[in-house]
Amino acid sequence: MVRRKRVNPVGRLGVRYGRRVRLRIAAAEAGLRQKHICQSCGFKAVTRVSVGIWNCRKCDFTFTGAAYSPTSEVGEAVKRLIRRTAERVDLPSLSE
């Protein structure tokens, strides 16, 4: 049996699906497996529980985020928009 060298995380896919799709899968899976910084306690202990659900193993803070990472560009943009709108209409900020 030929022992195959594992080239990258998506090496299991072989030549299928196209290069760009494989690169996107690699990027998503990299964010999925590494630990992320907790927005509550600051420790690097956030792991994914389920799609979009993230939990800090240090302080047990559970929050929603993007599917493959705790935050996404769109999520950050929406957060900014909500903050600016709250400031404009003089409502208490949602982050407090």
| Count of CA atoms in the C-beta half-sphere (13 A) of 70 | 19
Is residue 19 helix, strand or coil?
helix
Of residues 55-74, which lie at the interface with Zn ion (CB under 5 A)? 56, 58-59, 61
CB-wise, 35 or 58, nearer to Zn ion?
58
Whole-angstrom Cα distance, residue 64 to residue 60?
13
Asked whether position 28 contacts Zn ion by CB under 5 A, the answer is no
CB-wise, 26 or 61, nearer to Zn ion?
61
Please identify, among the stretches 5-13, 25-33, 49-57, 80-88, the one whose residues bind Zn ion according to the rule CB under 5 A. 49-57
Whole-angstrom Cα distance, residue 88 to residue 10?
46
Strand ranges in the chain using DSSP code E only, listed in sequence order: 36-37, 44-50, 53-56, 62-64
CB-wise, 26 or 43, nearer to Zn ion?
43
Residue 46 Cβ vs Zn ion, minimum distance, rounded to whole Å: 7
Judged by the rule CB under 5 A, the positions of this chain that interact with Zn ion are: 38, 40-41, 56, 58-59, 61
